Amino acid sequence: MVLLHILSNTQKQAEQIADFLIRENLLLEATLQQQVMSRKKNESGTIEISSKTLVTGKTKALLFNEIEKTIKAHFKEQPPVIYATPIAYMDWEQSKQLVDGVAKI
């Protein structure tokens, strides 16, 4: 199990991605956090600050590659940042819901 993180440039794109992943049974549930501040150094060395929308959701680790490919194929314009972190512990009932609720591998 992993916690999927998708950092989108717009709220609309984040909502579309979350809805798409849920409809395709790649995520059981999505949480959207608006106005997440992102900082990075640009080419001139100046710190650039931007507002993003973060989509998080639990899924199976083996679905990550499919999720990444699907998002990149459907959201080519301003592609979001996608990564996942492993879930070490989870309530057994939540774990069962996740296993039963997302795509079979």
pLDDT band of 102, cuts 50, 70, 90: confident
pLDDT band of 100, cuts 50, 70, 90: confident
pLDDT band of 89, cuts 50, 70, 90: confident
Q: Which residue's structure tokens are 């973060």?
A: 54
pLDDT tens profile 21-74: 999 999 989 999 999 998 999 999 999 999 999 999 999 999 999 999 999 999
Q: Would you state the pLDDT for residue 28?
A: 87
Q: Would you state the pLDDT for residue 97?
A: 74
Q: In degrees rounded to 5, what are phi and psi of residue 85?
A: -120, 140
The Cα 12–Cα 37 span in angstroms is 17
pLDDT of 94 over the 80 cut: no
The Cα 58–Cα 52 span in angstroms is 20
Q: Domains in the chain, please, with CATH?
A: 2-40+48-90 (3.30.70.120)
Sheet strands side by side (includes 81-86):
31-41, 47-59, 2-8, 81-86
Mean pLDDT score, 79-98: 84
